[in-house]
């Protein structure tokens, strides 16, 4: 772990809810895409990672494997005063666990019924902002950026919030980070306050696209 990082939070989508808008969409995608379900053992390479992630069963198995492996082996690998928070990858999707050099513990204050990591990771960012002046979100989803800009304008996030946005070019290794706090300040509180509503009506996952225009 990078010495400058105190806490790493891994937040996964939940796949343990039978009926929901998101599960219906996943089912639709599953019909359209072909894929096989694999048993993850940890000692085999995935030949085609994209095909592997086409099924929700494989995604859920991977999240479960990662969380269980970290809980079982991470304690001996973590430096002192560093911790890892895990959410969404346990049999009970609401459960959140923290791991440090002492051991594994439950974080009941972060238990959540949220199904998507997009919104759940914002909850974690808000909680971590209480004790950390800088937060970096490793995600390239517009939905998350909208939420981060909104909540920063409400004073719920750390002074500095960055969102990782990939790399600057195909052959360039320099990483790009979006300064959420700068965007929120530039837009102003009035514009930021309207962002969730505008996004919900025009671009979120549950909104239909306009014919031939998209979102």
**Whether residue 41 has pLDDT greater than 50:** yes
Which residues share a beta bridge with 167? 175
Query: What values do phi and psi take at 201, rounded to 5?
Result: -85, -20
Task: Tell me, yes or no, if the pTM score tops 0.85.
Answer: no
Question: Which of the pair, 52 or 108, is modelled with greater confidence?
Answer: 108
Q: Which of 78, 126, 87 has the alpha carbon at shortest distance from 106? A: 87
User: Within this chain, do residues 76 and 24 fall inside the same structural domain, yes or no?
Assistant: yes
User: Which of 53, 77, 112 is the C-terminal boundary of a domain?
Assistant: 112
User: Within this chain, do residues 97 and 134 fall inside the same structural domain, yes or no?
Assistant: no
User: Within this chain, do residues 8 and 103 fall inside the same structural domain, yes or no?
Assistant: yes
Local confidence band at 121 (pLDDT 50, 70, 90 cut-offs): very high
User: Within this chain, do residues 107 and 5 fall inside the same structural domain, yes or no?
Assistant: yes
Lowest-pLDDT range, 1-10, 59-68, 148-157? 1-10
User: Within this chain, do residues 147 and 48 fall inside the same structural domain, yes or no?
Assistant: no
Query: Mean per-residue pLDDT for 167-171?
Result: 66
Domain that holds residue 94: 1-112
User: Which of 61, 77, 112 is the C-terminal boundary of a domain?
Assistant: 112
Q: Please give the Cα distance from 98 to 106 (Å, whole number).
A: 6
Q: In the chain, how many domains are there?
A: 2
Query: Residue 210 carries which DSSP code?
Result: B
With contact defined as beta carbons under 8 Å apart, do 141 and 128 qualify? no
pLDDT value of residue 79: 87
User: Within this chain, do residues 82 and 121 fall inside the same structural domain, yes or no?
Assistant: no
| CA end-to-end distance (rounded Å), the chain | 38
User: Which of 85, 112, 139 is the C-terminal boundary of a domain?
Assistant: 112
User: Within this chain, do residues 142 and 80 fall inside the same structural domain, yes or no?
Assistant: no
Local confidence band at 32 (pLDDT 50, 70, 90 cut-offs): very low
User: Within this chain, do residues 156 and 70 fall inside the same structural domain, yes or no?
Assistant: no
pLDDT value of residue 6: 93
Q: Please give the Cα distance from 108 to 134 (Å, whole number).
A: 23
Which residues share a beta bridge with 97? 86, 106
User: Within this chain, do residues 101 and 189 fall inside the same structural domain, yes or no?
Assistant: no
User: Within this chain, do residues 94 and 124 fall inside the same structural domain, yes or no?
Assistant: no
With contact defined as beta carbons under 8 Å apart, do 87 and 125 qualify? no
């Amino acid at each position: 772990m990078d010495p400058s990082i105190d806490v790493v939070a891994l937040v996964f989508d939940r796949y343990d809810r039978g009926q929901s808008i998101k599960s219906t969409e996943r089912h639709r995608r599953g019909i359209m895409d072909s894929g096989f379900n694999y048993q993850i053992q940890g000692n085999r390479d995935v030949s085609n990672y994209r095909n592997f992630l086409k099924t929700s069963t494989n995604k859920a198995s991977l999240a479960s494997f990662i969380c269980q492996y970290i809980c079982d082996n991470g304690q001996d690998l973590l430096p002192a005063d560093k911790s890892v928070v895990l959410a969404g990858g346990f049999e009970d999707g609401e459960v959140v666990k923290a791991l440090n050099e002492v051991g594994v513990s439950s974080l009941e204050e972060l238990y959540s019924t949220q199904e998507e990591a997009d919104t759940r990771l914002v909850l974690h960012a808000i909680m971590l902002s209480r004790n950390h002046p800088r937060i970096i979100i490793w995600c390239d989803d517009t939905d998350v950026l909208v939420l981060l800009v909104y909540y920063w304008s409400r004073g719920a996030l750390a002074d500095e919030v960055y969102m990782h946005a990939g790399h600057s070019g195909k052959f360039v290794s320099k990483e790009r980070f979006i300064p959420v706090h700068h965007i929120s300040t530039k837009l102003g509180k009035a514009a930021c306050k309207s962002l969730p509503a505008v996004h919900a009506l025009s671009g979120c996952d549950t909104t239909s696209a306009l014919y031939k225009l998209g979102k």
